Amino acid sequence: MSHDFDVIVIGSGAGGSPVALTLSRAGHSVLVLERGPWYSTEDFYKDELACCLRDIYKPSRREEPHIVETERDDGSWRAQNTNNSRWNFWNGNCVGGSSNFMSGYFHRLKPVDFHLLSEFGPVEGANIADWPIRYEDLEPYYSRVEREVGVSGKVRPHPHAEPRSQADFPYPPLQEHAVAAMLDEAGERLGYHPIPTPRAILSRPVEGRNSCAYNGGYCGSTGCSTGAKGSARSALLERAVATGRCEVRPHSLVKRLITDAKGKITGVEYFNKEGVLRQVDAGIYVVACQAIESAKLLLRSTGPKFPQGLANSNGLVGKNLLFAGGGAGSGQLPYAKFSASKARELAQTGFFVNRALQDWYVIDDKAFGPRQKGGTIDFVHVHPSPVLRASRHLHGDHGLLWGKPLKRNLEHLFRDAVPLKIEAFCDWLPNDNSFVTLDPSRKDKWGMPLGRVRTGYHVQNLKVGWYLAAKGAEMLKAIGAEEVISFASGAPPTNLLAGTCRFGTDPKTSVLDPMCRAHEVENLYVTDGSFMPTGGSVPYTWTIYANAFRVADHLLQRLGRPRVSY
């Protein structure tokens, strides 16, 4: 049968672009449908209003909101339209997706992350499942991402280091801030093992992409103006388009996947920039919209065989939504504690702290309880946006500040110390109160049902988050920081999403098979973070990239081309 394309990829971020590059490079025709615009590197700049106060790169919450459900103290659930709240589950809707705006902290999962249930046993109230693959299956693809996307760093042995097939990263470490050496010294005194944080940011130019310009630490929340950051757009998709066999259609919002009576996908309906409904078909369909949006797409793609949503006969599409658990903290490193020359060194704002601790990736502390999964602690600068930073200091002990008290407060904030932050990551345990459904009555501007996102968390997230954040605070105090605080929260970070279409070997308990093909739909794959049964204790992007390359190799074999060596 003749098709418009061999493969259609829906979504152009970390889950879609590895598939597009791999298949187009091997000679297959690929269409990428992206709901947002196509920005180039030249379009990105360090605009603090665009990155931190306005939804410049996201759909309007007035026109396309979500309904977020949060738990009240009495155990009931409150439903709130995100247009009237601080919540925003849209993350970088443009070619390359949210990878354009990531900070690029790239930690791998570790072998233990692939078998939490077997290793630690069940946790009451949590839907923990072992992965159907092992770390060894994904390791070659972590290494491929290092080369293809560009990861800079330095391997330093530590107690929980994961096995590697390559001795070190392909790009040397980025320039480091003076605080990095201070954390190394403090860690040695305390008996800990600080490690350089791998970053998906080039430390030297390669293939038309420039190296990092060290322009103030704005990586998080802003697009990269040099192409150094390993976004799916600059690192992969532009190369896919250059093959001449990959077409990207921006402003193309997919309405639904069309299926026949046997449940096979026969086409895609999408709205173009003018709002006109179009249709296109392929032999294979890859969904990679991000965990919430992929679930919404499958749920609204009903058909003769799937009245409750595509690949959803077992009712698991949208279930077991993952965010990231953990804790946080902060402290101030006063310049007055140091010599004038050292203070000038500490005041430098462009270089990276790039230090992490994984000494408690597995917590074996009798005072804390039985041996259990822990996590990762990253040490970073507070985001440099002046408006963002200042807005958090507009209140004092007795309410809103103005006049001289506000001026003194801001003077202290910007002139007296280096502000540092702790970001502690632990597993967000999948549970029955963290999921995505379609709203039964409310619709967006396209006439499609709004997504309802319930954000229930497991108390274990808080327990481990508090523990890790306290360890991070100990390190900050050891380098001389003051005003140190640490805490954990059950509120989910809206930029770290996974789950909703978990993979596994049993069609009764999973949506996808080990190759991320839907159990019930032979020509449907899902390659964003939706496939993950558990999320590990690190940001998800590197794992999403790696798994998408793994699935792409499988698709090469399915399409009749031998696996390509890179």
Which residues are 546's β-sheet partners? none
Kindly state the tokens that stand for 167. Answer: 């001795």
450 touches 406 (CB < 8 A) = no
E strand or H helix that includes residue 403: helix 403-415
28-40 confidence digits (pLDDT tens): 999 999 999 999 9
Amino acid sitting at position 474: E
**Structure confidence at residue 408 (pLDDT):** 84
User: In 447-486, which positions are buried (b, 16+ CB within 10 angstroms) versus exposed (e)?
Assistant: ebbbbbbbbbbbebbbbbbbbbbbbbbbbbebbebeebeb
Which residues are 339's β-sheet partners? none
E strand or H helix that includes residue 34: none
Report how far apart, in Å, the C-alpha atoms of 424 and of each of 56, 277, 479 are: 28, 44, 18
Report the distance separating Cα 443 and Cα 66, nearest Å. 10
Kindly state the tokens that stand for 193. Answer: 């093992």
Report the distance separating Cα 422 and Cα 420, nearest Å. 7
Instruction: DSSP letter for 82, please.
Output: G
Report how far apart, in Å, the C-alpha atoms of 464 and of each of 50, 113, 262, 458, 461 are: 34, 15, 46, 11, 6
Q: Is residue 324 over pLDDT 90?
A: yes
Sign of the four-CA dihedral 546, 115, 374, 68: positive
Q: Is residue 557 over pLDDT 70?
A: yes
151-180 confidence digits (pLDDT tens): 999 999 999 999 999 999 999 999 999 999
Site of tokens 């050292």: 342
Site of tokens 């992490």: 356
Residues ≥6 apart with Cβ < 8 Å to 527: 15, 16, 18, 19, 286, 287, 288, 516, 544, 547, 548, 551
E strand or H helix that includes residue 496: none
Q: Strands 277-280 and 265-271, how do they pair? A: antiparallel
In the chain, where the domains are located: 5-153+160-558
**Position 563 confidence tier, pLDDT thresholds 50, 70, 90:** low
**Structure confidence at residue 1 (pLDDT):** 66
pTM value surpassing 0.85 = yes
**Nearest-10 crossing angle of helices 17-25, 541-558:** 30
User: In 111-146, which positions are buried (b, 16+ CB within 10 angstroms) versus exposed (e)?
Assistant: ebbbebbeeeeebeebbbbbbbeebeebbebbbbbb
Q: Is 237 left (phi over 0), alpha (psi -120 to 50) or beta?
A: alpha
Mean pLDDT of the chain: 94
Count CA within 13 A, CB hemisphere, residue 305: 15
**Position 137 confidence tier, pLDDT thresholds 50, 70, 90:** very high
258-302 confidence digits (pLDDT tens): 999 999 999 999 999 999 999 999 999 999 999 999 999 999 999
Stretch 375-381: mean pLDDT, rounded?
95
Give the whole-number percent of the chain exceeding pLDDT 90.
Answer: 83
Stretch 211-216: mean pLDDT, rounded?
84
Kindly state the tokens that stand for 410. Answer: 């801001």
**Structure confidence at residue 272 (pLDDT):** 97
58 touches 221 (CB < 8 A) = no
Report the distance separating Cα 33 and Cα 248, nearest Å. 6
Count CA within 13 A, CB hemisphere, residue 509: 11
**Position 562 confidence tier, pLDDT thresholds 50, 70, 90:** low
Q: Is residue 565 over pLDDT 70?
A: no
Kindly state the tokens that stand for 541. Answer: 């992007």
**Structure confidence at residue 389 (pLDDT):** 76
**Structure confidence at residue 385 (pLDDT):** 74
- Residue 236, classed as helix, strand or coil, is helix
Site of tokens 């345990």: 429
Give the end-to-end CA distance of the chain in Å, rounded to a whole number: 31
- Angle, CA of 402, 404 and 410, to the nearest 5°: 80
Report the distance separating Cα 448 and Cα 223, nearest Å. 29
Q: Where are the alpha helices (DSSP H) in 64-149?
A: 116-120, 135-145
**Structure confidence at residue 52 (pLDDT):** 66
Domain 5-153+160-558 is found in CATH 3.90.1150.10? no
Kindly state the tokens that stand for 183. Answer: 């954390």
- Stronger pLDDT, 560 or 503, i.e. the higher one: 503
Report the distance separating Cα 139 and Cα 287, nearest Å. 23
**Position 51 confidence tier, pLDDT thresholds 50, 70, 90:** low
**Structure confidence at residue 383 (pLDDT):** 76
**Position 216 confidence tier, pLDDT thresholds 50, 70, 90:** low
**Position 2 confidence tier, pLDDT thresholds 50, 70, 90:** confident
**Position 564 confidence tier, pLDDT thresholds 50, 70, 90:** low
Instruction: DSSP letter for 315, please.
Output: S
Q: Is residue 15 over pLDDT 80?
A: yes
